[in-house]
Every structure is written in C-alpha cells, then in structure tokens.
C-alpha cells in the first residue's frame, strides 16, 4: 500500500521546513503544495500490485532464458567475479578466463548466435556486460569484430578454416583497422598488402610510423590472428595499382607456443582510463608474407595470375560495402550502453530511495528522492533507459532483417540508424553516469559502488566503432539524401517515412490555437509529442538544406558542410529522438498488461516532455510552443517526475539485474548499509 494522505501532507510540511532552512527561496508554497498534490493525487490508483515479472518479461523478452543462464553461471563462480581492486595484468587474465568459461563451461556460443540469431547475440553481450564491461568488449572483439570480419568479408573457404576455432576461442583474434595517424578516415590508412605474383603471396607492410595499427583489442597478450585492413597493391611494369582498402587474415603469434611470429612487432598500449581487462596493443608488419587465400575476398578477389575482379565497379563502392558489413559493432555498443545506463540508474535510484536527509524536529527525515531536484536528475534518466531499450530492440530487429535479406534499402537504413543510435545513446549515458555519481554524494565516489568503473569503462563507447560526431554527420548526410529523394519522387527508407508527411505539412504555418494549448490531456497526448519531435526535425532539415545550398556557392561543398556543422549535428540528434519516441509509442501500444501499459505510458510522457523542455528554445524560436505552453510543459514534467518517483523501485527492479552482479552495496535491493559497512571491515 502507498503512503496515506496524512503522510503526503507530512512530506509537504517537511519540504516547507527544508526550504526555509536553505533560504533564498521565494516560491509560492501554495503553488508548490498544489504541484505536490497533483503529483501524488493518483498514487492510490497507480498499479501498486504490478508483478515485477510482467515488466521484466517486457524488458527481457525472448532473451530472458539466455540472461538467466549466464547470471546463474557467474553467480556460482565467485572465482570469476572481478574484484574492486585489480591490476592491469591480473584483470586481463581474469577477463580472458571469463570468456573461456562463458564458451566452454557455460555453453554459450556467441559466434553461432551472431550468425544465426543476432538478437540473442546482443542480449548475451548486454548480460556479460553486467559481469564486467571488459568481458563484454573482449567478447565483441573476438566474435563481432574478428569473427564478424571473417564471416562477413570472407567467403566459404575462410569460414571452413576459421569458424570453429573462433567459436571455441582456440583462435583468439584481433581487428586491426585503426592506425596511429588514421581513425575515422579509414580510406586514408597507409598499411599496404602488395601482391607477389611469383610466390602467390601478399606482403604486408607498415611503411611508416603513422601506419602503426593502434588500440587493437586482443593484440597485446592473447591474439593469434588479426584481420588487417590495408591497401591492396598490384605491381605492374607500368606502375603499381592501388585497389583500395581490403581485409586480410594475418597470423601474429604461433599456434604452438604463442610466440610472436617473424616480421610482426607487437607493443602494449598500457593502462587506459578504463577497460583494463582488454589487452589493447600496437602492431607493425615488416614485410610479413601471407598466402593469397588470406585475402577476405567477398567484395574483391585476386587470381593466381594477378587479375583483380569485383562485382562492385569502384573503390568507393567496395569500401562502402565493406564497412556496411561491420555495423554489428555499433549495434552492440548501442545496446550495451543501454545496459550500463540501466545499471547506473538502478544504483542511484535505490540509494536515493534509501537515503534520508533533513526534516523538522521530532519528525522522520525524508528520502532524498522526495526532493524535486533529485527527481529531475534521475527520473528522466529512468524514462530514457526504457526509451532506449525499445529503440535498440527495434535496431536489433532491423539488423537481423538485414542479415537475412541483404536488401540495399534495409542495409542503408541499418547503417544510418545504428550510427545515430550508437552516437546518441552513448553520449547520453556518458553524461548520465556522472549525474548518477553526483546524485549519490560521497558514497557514489566509493569505488565499490561502481560509478567510477562504469563511467571509465563506458567513456570510450563515445569514440570507438566510430566517433560520435562523425556518426551523427553520417545520419545528417543520409537525411539530406532522403530529402532530395523526396522531391524526386523516390521512396523513403522505412525509418524516414515520417519525413514525407512532415516536409509537406509541418513546415506550413503553425496553428496559433495548437501552439497555445496547455492542458494536461493535450501535453500527454502521444500525437502532440511525436508531432513536436517530427516538426523540429523537418524544420531543421529544410533550413539546413537551404543553408548548404547558399554557402556552397561561395565556400564549396566541404566548406559549406563545415559552416553548417553544428546545425547538421542538431538535425541528426533531433531525428534520432524522433525515432526513439516513435518506438516507445509502439511499445506502449503492444503492451497487453493494463498496469504495465500505464507505467510505460507514464515513462513515455516523461521522456517526451523532458526532451521537449530540454530543447524548448528551438520550439519557441520556431513558434511551435507559446510561452504559456512552455510553462505548462515544465510543470507537467515536474509532476511526471514525482509520479515516476512513486514507482521508481519496481521500475528499476524490472531491469532484472541480480544484486550479485550489480555488486554496488548502495544499489542492492535490501541490506545496503549492512553490506557497505561489512565491505570496509565492520562485523555488525
């Protein structure tokens, strides 16, 4: 049962006294009381008897069995749990041991899942991320990157030789794309693989310092093979022919004794800000010879006599096809980032429900989550975790469809959607981690409570598998491509369909009656919310297209793009928020349980209005939201935060993260303070 009306009034009285203590607040307490009563008036009608299993089933779906299998295995293996204090070398060996145990003892085969059921693969990746984020990344390097490059860029002969060894981790490997001088600009890499016709081999060469392969996961300690991206060079009497960037399998350590092979030079990149369970290394190749068959030849092949063939006519098309097959890494990072957000919000929310501070004499202190400031820090994050979950679930479905059909339209859609969601979600989670830490005060600073390790391990998500700023530009470029296609009468990609209507309707004069509507029913109407998001995207797209056309006349295409870059990034973020909200709406409609649906709608409303308020200046500048409406949106957001607070505990419980894997004393479901004091050495 929820608190009584008398308890509500007592909380309000304590809030008044607290405000008088901190001083400097001239708020109208009558209005404050009205706001508080609005927020709690529906408390008794809220689904207090909601089964956590119903919501957990919604959040885990078909992946629940895999999650529980993995959780049970690691809960029963304390020797595989990562301690709070662990050195780099020990952490690397533990992470490798965890990966081997996952495959050979727990019986989970990520490589098989990646090929046959990608959605289950990403569910497993999220689950192992709760064990240790380093394990999640190690798994991604072994299977998604190294294994994925062999499966997606190679042909049957490569799968026959390497698949089983990758699957059972007999062939630990690397993905050697990034170089010291080139990261995002992969076409600019300088490593070469020159064909030697006499020996029927490629000669792999690092021609200069800048071509050193850098930040290569699995390279420093465990890797035996590497997929090396290099320019394929074909010599001829008339001059060398550069066929563009291709992928080659290069052995780097002996299968017999693990010694570094001749011509290969490996260095350790050392301690990092986070993810020190992953052995990142640097590689140089001194004329290393590999068989011609080690070319991963799905998109381009070389015959014994040195003749190059490809179904794709240009270097750019071959390069685009190659990178298009590697988007699985971005899908995994987006999904994994949501898991990290879930964990951090769970810890911060449970602690905020437990922690009590301030109150009048002779009366109990109140939970810090009863303070409006704490609610507005954490409750939108909780809503966002749910929103991101449904968006990445949709991305996984589209990715699975892409792997089955290989349709060009689906490939293009997944490429842009994975870039946008990876960039948006990882950037949001990075900021949220710091806010969660701060929301837990000094106790959030204790390493055992995990915010530090979560924040440090996650930080790189913003820049690997594509720098977020670069990825958002890819989304903006695709939007502009769709914009041009619309005016040529071409069909739009599925995710972009709303632009057809928005560009024809939303850009017309805004209705003054609608822009001033401020009643609760209107603001919580999903049609208003999605219309607002899509109006903003359409407006940004239309105006940036005009700006680019104007500036390109004087500055050229590159200069115009750079001149409008911030506008383009805002456009991409706006579009991704529209997609996220649309998928949240669909999740609410699909939900059959009435209590769960109420909760999802509550979270959806909070996510939508929080994002509108966050960018209210744009809506005001575009005359889409009048001043009175902006004020009403802010008020509704405050009320929604207070409403979500009342069910925050069940909502984080529904993420289904076991205490033994969450491992933060202040974030446990019960006994938080006891566990915390035991950790530092007190016996009772």
The DSSP output letter for 295 is B
Q: What are phi and psi of 270, to 5 degrees?
A: 80, -165
Other CB atoms within 10 A of residue 456 CB: 16
Residue whose structure tokens are 């479901």: 669
- Residue 198 CA to its chain's centroid (Å): 48
Token pair 């440090």 is found at 456
What distance in Å separates the CA atoms of residue 544 and residue 424, rounded to the nearest whole number? 20
Nearest by Cα to 660 from 82, 56, 92, 120: 82
Cα 644 to Cα 602: distance, rounded to the nearest angstrom? 7
Question: H helices within 229-371, ranges in order?
Answer: 315-324, 328-354
Check if 465 is active-site: yes
Q: Which is nearest to 611 in space by CA: 497, 530, 521, 541?
A: 530
159 neighbors 150 (Cβ within 8 angstroms): yes
Q: Annotated binding site, which residues?
A: 178, 217
Tell me the angle at which helices 627-646 and 372-405 cross, rounded to the nearest 10 degrees: 90
C-alpha distances (whole Å) from 275 to each of 30, 88, 136, 177, 548 are 51, 9, 10, 19, 40
Cα separations in angstroms, 81 against 74, 102, 137, 168, 652: 7, 13, 16, 21, 23
Q: What is the DSSP string of 175-235?
A: EE--BSS-SS-GGG---EEEEETTTTEEEEE--SGGG-EEEETTTTTT-SEEEEEEEEEE-
Tell which residue, 248, 242, 268, 259, has the closest CA to residue 177: 248
With tokens 């744009």, the residue in question is 618
Q: Which residues pair with 23 in a beta bridge?
A: none
Tokens of 169: 């981790």
Site of tokens 């090396």: 228
3-state secondary structure of 288: strand
C-alpha 538: how far from chain center: 25
Nearby residues of 312 by Cβ (< 8 Å), 6 or more positions away: 299, 300, 318, 321
From the candidates 126, 179, 190, 465, which is the catalytic residue? 465
Q: Which residues are annotated as a binding site for FAD?
A: 178, 217
Q: DSSP class of residue 531?
A: H
Angle among Cα 272, 273, 275 to the nearest 5 degrees reads 70
How far is the C-alpha of 152 from the C-alpha of 44, rounded, in Å? Answer: 54
Q: Is 192 left (phi over 0), alpha (psi -120 to 50) or beta?
A: beta
Catalytic residue annotation: 465
């Amino acid at each position: 049962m929820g608190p009584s009306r008398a308890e509500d009034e007592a909380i309000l009285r304590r809030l008044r006294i607290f405000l008088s203590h901190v001083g400097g607040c001239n708020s109208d307490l009558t209005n404050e009381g009205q706001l508080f009563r609005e927020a709690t008036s529906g408390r008794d009608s809220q689904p207090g008897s909601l089964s956590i299993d119903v919501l957990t089933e919604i959040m885990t779906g078909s992946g629940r069995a895999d999650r529980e299998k993995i959780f049970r295995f690691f809960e029963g293996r304390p020797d595989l749990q990562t301690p709070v204090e662990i050195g780099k070398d020990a952490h690397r060996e533990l992470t490798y041991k965890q990966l081997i145990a996952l495959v050979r003892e727990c019986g989970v085969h990520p490589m098989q899942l990646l090929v046959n059921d990608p959605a289950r693969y990403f569910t497993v990746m999220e689950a192992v991320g709760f064990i240790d984020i380093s394990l999640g990344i190690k798994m991604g390097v072994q299977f998604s990157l190294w294994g994925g490059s062999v499966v997606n860029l190679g042909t049957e002969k490569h799968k026959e030789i390497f698949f089983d060894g990758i699957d059972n981790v007999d062939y630990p490997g690397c993905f050697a794309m990034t170089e010291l001088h080139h990261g995002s600009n992969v076409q600019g890499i300088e490593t070469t693989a020159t064909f030697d016709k006499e020996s029927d081999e490629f000669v792999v060469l690092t021609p200069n310092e800048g071509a050193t392969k850098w930040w290569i996961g699995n390279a420093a300690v465990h890797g035996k093979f590497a997929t090396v991206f290099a320019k394929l060079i074909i010599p001829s009497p008339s001059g060398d022919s550069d066929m563009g960037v291709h992928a080659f399998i290069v052995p780097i350590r002996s299968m017999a004794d693990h010694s570094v092979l001749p011509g290969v030079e490996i260095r350790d990149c050392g301690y990092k800000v986070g993810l020190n369970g992953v052995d990142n290394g640097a590689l140089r190749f001194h004329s290393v010879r590999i068989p011609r068959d080690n070319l991963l030849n799905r998109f381009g092949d070389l015959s014994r006599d040195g003749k190059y063939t490809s179904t794709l006519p240009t270097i750019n098309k071959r390069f685009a096809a190659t990178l298009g097959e590697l988007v699985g890494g971005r899908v995994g990072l987006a999904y994994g980032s949501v898991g990290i957000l879930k964990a951090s919000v769970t810890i911060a929310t449970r602690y905020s429900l437990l922690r009590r501070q301030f109150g009048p004499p002779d009366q109990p202190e109140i939970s810090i989550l009863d303070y409006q400031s704490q609610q507005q820090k954490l409750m939108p994050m909780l809503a966002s975790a749910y929103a991101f979950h449904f968006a990445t679930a949709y991305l996984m479905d589209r990715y699975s469809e892409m792997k089955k059909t290989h349709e060009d339209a689906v490939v293009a859609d997944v490429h842009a959607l994975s870039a946008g969601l990876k960039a948006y979600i990882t950037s949001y989670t990075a900021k949220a981690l710091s806010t969660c830490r701060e929301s837990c005060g000094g106790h959030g600073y204790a390493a055992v409570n995990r915010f530090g390790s979560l924040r440090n391990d996650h930080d790189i998500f913003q820049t690997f598998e594509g720098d977020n700023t670069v990825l958002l530009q890819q989304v903006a470029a695709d939007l502009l491509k769709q914009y041009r296609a619309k005016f040529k009468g071409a069909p739009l990609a599925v995710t972009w369909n709303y632009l057809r209507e928005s560009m024809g309707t939303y850009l017309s004069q805004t209705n003054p009656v609608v822009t001033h509507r401020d009643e609760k029913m209107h603001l919580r109407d999903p049609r208003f919310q999605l219309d607002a998001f899509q109006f903003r995207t359409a407006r940004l797209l239309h105006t940036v297209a005009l700006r680019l056309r104007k500036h390109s006349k004087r500055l050229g295409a590159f200069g115009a793009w750079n001149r409008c870059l911030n506008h383009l990034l805002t456009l991409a973020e706006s579009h991704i928020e529209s997609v996220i909200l649309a998928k949240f709406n669909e999740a609410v409609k699909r939900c059959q349980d009435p209590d769960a649906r109420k909760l999802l709608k509550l979270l959806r409303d909070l996510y939508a209005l929080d994002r509108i308020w966050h960018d209210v200046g744009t809506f005001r500048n575009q005359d889409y939201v009048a001043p009175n409406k902006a004020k009403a949106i802010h008020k509704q957001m405050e009320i929604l935060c207070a409403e979500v607070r009342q069910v925050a505990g069940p909502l984080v419980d529904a993420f289904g993260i076991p205490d033994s894997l969450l491992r933060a004393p202040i974030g446990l479901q019960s006994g938080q303070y006891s566990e915390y004091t035991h950790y530092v050495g007190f016996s009772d």
